[in-house]
Structure 1
Amino acid sequence: MPLQAEPFFAFAEQIFSQLQGDEQLFLSLDGERSDFVRLNRNRVRQAGAVQTQQLGLTLVDSERQIEGSCDLSGDVDADRSLALALVQQLRERIPHLPADPYLNLDQTPSHSHRALEAELPPAAEAIANLSDQADGLDLVGIYAAGEIASGLASSIGHRHWHQSHSFNLDWSCYLDGDKAVKDSYSGFDWQVSAVRERIERQRERLAVMARPTKQIEPGQYRAFLAPAAMEELLDMLAWGGFGLRDHRTQQTPLLRLAKGELSLSPMLSLIEDHSRGLAPGFTAEGFLKPEQVALIEQGRFGQCLADARSAKEYGEAVNAADEFPESLALAAGRLPTDQALSALDTGLYIGNLWYSNWSDRNACRITGMTRFGTFWVERGELIAPLAVMRFDDSLYRLLGDQLEALTQERELRLSAETYDGRSTASALLPGALVSSLNLTL
């Protein structure tokens, strides 16, 4: 079956025609056509292409539901027989299940179609461009690019399709040992000039990395957090920070913010931007997501993310497929990125943070490590690489009274996860200047 809306909807109609009695069936299709290239020492070590289609089925009858899935081969007749056989298996099992009190399906037929186009070069051309720019460097990374599609059809009458093309280049340039500078480039429009600028910046920072490592004592330091470092912090915040169930059960690390006992910086406005994201604008239950959900507004808590089950349990409207952000956007600030180091003056430039975890969830306190691309800065200049340090600090501080500025420019960061197919998660983030970051060892 082609990875297109109309063939999928026609296929779904054939399956729906075999339903019995009061059965309802939701069919979801997730597919991709992607090129993957792995590089080591600036040479291609592995290259290949992936084409997959997976069909998900949710059969509903008498307030009971049961799910199943199968991989499709592309042969319509064989795939139809496979899907009908799976429906029969689900039909035989569903009478043995209890009624589901939180079953929540959109009973109103709806339609949507969205296709995000991109200017993507052939994989060989993109990699040749990268390798030419990185000549002489020990570059290690992965390039993934291509088409991702998601479809939903139901016997109720839902017909939704979301299709996008994107690329994601995630790499590091090594000096020696564990000394490296990491970068990434992702989006919908491949620009040779953007690759060149990133590689030139890495060469400059590798030259600083070659200097003797600077050791500093534990304590509080001014710091500039690059967008990649901000992404690590916000990923932690997304772990229970915005889900409706986490808030209603008072397990969220943002409980004091939600209660109004504490606030973050008025510069901080965070939204779930479904209108921009790679993720589909509909849920598996047929609900349409709103264009945006205001999570934090000028430092104060806004709305929770409510999936279908939590919405049913707590009597709220559905506004997300899952109760964690998929398409985060942090509002830009006023600090030009090219003035970030001079605004920092003396302190830490942190390119990335690693191995983060909660050290005190109730206090929204996070611990983790600096690693690649962390430098000591004096008078606005990169002076030396820093030895790996552990930080331990509360986001109420870092994103609260210690937040001095956010950059005017934001970086679109697409998830590099490929565990169960290429991820559609993304974040649009500025860098952040903070008055103090607590280093513990």
Structure 2
Amino acid sequence: MQQYFERLADAVCTLAEGAERVTLSFSAEATDFIRFNRAAVRQATHVEQRYGSVSVIADGRRATGTLSLRGELGLDIQALLAERATLLAQLPHIPQDRYLLLPSAIASSQRRTVGELPAAGQLIDAVSRHAAGTDMVGFYAGGPVVRAYADSRGQRNWHEVDSFLFEWSLYRSGDQAVKSSYAGSQWSEAQFAARMAQARAQCELLGRARKTLAPGDYRVYLSPVAVGELLGTLSWGGFGLKAVNTGVSTLIQLHRGEAALHKGVTLTEATAGGIAPSFQDDGFVKPDAVPLVAAGRIAGTLAAPRSAMEYGVAANGSGPEESPESLAMAAGTLPPAEALKALGTGVYVSNLHYLNYSDRQACRMTGMTRFACFWVENGELAAPIDVMRFDDSFIRMFGSGLVALTDSVELLPDNATYGARQLRSISAPGAIVEGLRFTL
């Protein structure tokens, strides 16, 4: 496919009359989608799709059009050239954009991550063996995903990653279920079996009498998935340059020096360690890492080209939303196997959902516990708890309230597949937090 893209780029990214620069962004995937119900296949589909976005730029103006491509080189070149001609005719009628910023240096790159993904039959057989006898519902998406960029200056960027994401739930009865996931580039049936076995064990625990907790402050263990869900919410306006300069960043207290996170908290846009591309649609190449929080204090922001132009700073490869695509929280020192013992007595939170801000300026979040959450006594899972709502500040939870972070992190890819598979991800450890506030 890379050769196909190169030939598209050579044909389209030429300086036509009326353009100072022509760019081509390309995305593609070849994905197996498999849905399971009652541990049996309900739907199995294979999807291949390709899209090309051509832009023409001149005199501070830019026009862009996106086409679905057929994968037939001659026809696709013809369609993109016709789109380019249409855009060139429209370009003089588009208002100038005073914040338009394009890269001056040419920075080509190439990344190809070859994975070992299960064939559809192999995955189905594994589910049949390890989920037999359960009411398991699940969704698998796996295969190569491509992002690429080219322009008329000669820059070429190619990003191709083989990856998979398998999410499933073991349903027990009523509203009781255990949710699990397994993701990566190297499929291991042994790892899948271990996660399924852990889910089975927790599903059995759901059969115990529920414990109802009164509203109040509790010592909790947040699984890496729960921490990732909090970090995902923090990404809504927490790290962008424009949000900081307009005073709406949810971490504005840290930027103003009014508060700090625990010294053990380090957050990084870790592009080199993620699965998202190291370039964006304007052609800017991202650093391997952008420090955001170091030892509890602000270390940087994500600067999209438009914000960089507006505020007179250097762009660092962020997309227009200035939201991280490969956000990583550094690990701590607590072995995961000792997490419940370190928790002692409190609440084990496996998942959170319906997260939102209850007070953006205070970085205060609210949401619900979900799936298998348990009361813990003397370091052991004792009883499932009823669904609870929490309302607490991220700055407090991961500031004065943080007790420990686990010494390993889990990669949590974005599970969105609407329109196309996504390459965003979060890497998060588990965390013990003192005094998480449950309100009802």
Q: TM-score, normalised by structure 2?
A: 0.98
Would you say 1:26 and 2:43 are equivalent positions?
Answer: no
- Separation (CA, whole Å) in 1 of partners of 2:86 and 2:200: 58
- Separation (CA, whole Å) in 2 of partners of 1:12 and 1:126: 37
Partner of 2:423: 424
- Separation (CA, whole Å) in 2 of partners of 1:343 and 1:93: 64
The one-letter code matched in structure 1 to 2:351 is: N
- Separation (CA, whole Å) in 1 of partners of 2:205 and 2:14: 67
Alpha-carbon contact 2:219-2:346 (below 8 Å) kept = yes
- Separation (CA, whole Å) in 2 of partners of 1:18 and 1:98: 21
Ranges in structure 2 where 5+ consecutive residues have no aligned partner = none
State the Cα distance separating 1:108 from its structure 2 match. 2.2
The one-letter code matched in structure 2 to 1:391 is: F
- Separation (CA, whole Å) in 2 of partners of 1:143 and 1:21: 47
Deviations 1:86-144 (A, max 9, x none): 11111111111111111111122221111011111212202211231011111111001
Alpha-carbon contact 2:25-2:149 (below 8 Å) kept = yes
Partner of 2:150, secondary structure, is strand
Alpha-carbon contact 1:306-1:318 (below 8 Å) kept = yes
Distance 1:75 1:371, change over 3 A: same
Partner of 1:351: 350
Would you say 1:59 and 2:56 are equivalent positions?
Answer: yes
Partner of 2:155: 158
- Separation (CA, whole Å) in 1 of partners of 2:14 and 2:216: 68
State the Cα distance separating 1:312 from its structure 2 match. 1.1
The one-letter code matched in structure 2 to 1:63 is: G
Q: CA RMSD in A?
A: 1.1
Would you say 1:361 and 2:372 are equivalent positions?
Answer: no
Q: TM-score, normalised by structure 1?
A: 0.98
Partner of 1:376: 375
Aligned counterpart in structure 2 of residue 144 of structure 1, from 132, 141, 146: 141
Partner of 1:307: 304
State the Cα distance separating 1:196 from its structure 2 match. 1.1
Aligned residues, how many? 438
The one-letter code matched in structure 2 to 1:96 is: H
Partner of 2:407, secondary structure, is strand
- Separation (CA, whole Å) in 2 of partners of 1:65 and 1:37: 40
The one-letter code matched in structure 1 to 2:420 is: G
- Separation (CA, whole Å) in 2 of partners of 1:16 and 1:363: 47
Would you say 1:336 and 2:335 are equivalent positions?
Answer: yes
State the Cα distance separating 1:420 from its structure 2 match. 2.5
State the Cα distance separating 1:21 from its structure 2 match. 4.1
Alpha-carbon contact 2:12-2:24 (below 8 Å) kept = no
Q: Percent identity?
A: 43
The one-letter code matched in structure 2 to 1:127 is: I
The one-letter code matched in structure 2 to 1:223 is: V
Moved over 3 A (4+): none
Partner of 1:409, secondary structure, is coil
Deviations 1:383-402 (A, max 9, x none): 11110010000011100011
- Separation (CA, whole Å) in 1 of partners of 2:219 and 2:15: 65
Partner of 2:406, secondary structure, is strand
- Separation (CA, whole Å) in 1 of partners of 2:189 and 2:429: 22
Alpha-carbon contact 2:232-2:426 (below 8 Å) kept = no
- Separation (CA, whole Å) in 2 of partners of 1:368 and 1:247: 25
Ranges in structure 1 where 5+ consecutive residues have no aligned partner = none
Alpha-carbon contact 1:107-1:156 (below 8 Å) kept = no
Aligned counterpart in structure 2 of residue 214 of structure 1, from 203, 211, 214: 211
State the Cα distance separating 1:22 from its structure 2 match. 4.0
Partner of 2:119: 122
Distance 1:22 1:354, change over 3 A: closer
Alpha-carbon contact 2:13-2:150 (below 8 Å) kept = no
Alpha-carbon contact 2:318-2:324 (below 8 Å) kept = no
Distance 1:329 1:201, change over 3 A: same
- Separation (CA, whole Å) in 2 of partners of 1:242 and 1:65: 27
Partner of 2:255: 258
The 10-residue stretch of structure 1 (184-193 or 127-136) with the greater mean CA deviation from structure 2: 127-136
- Separation (CA, whole Å) in 2 of partners of 1:344 and 1:184: 24
Residue pairs, 1:81-230, within 5 angstroms: 81-230=78-227
State the Cα distance separating 1:18 from its structure 2 match. 6.5
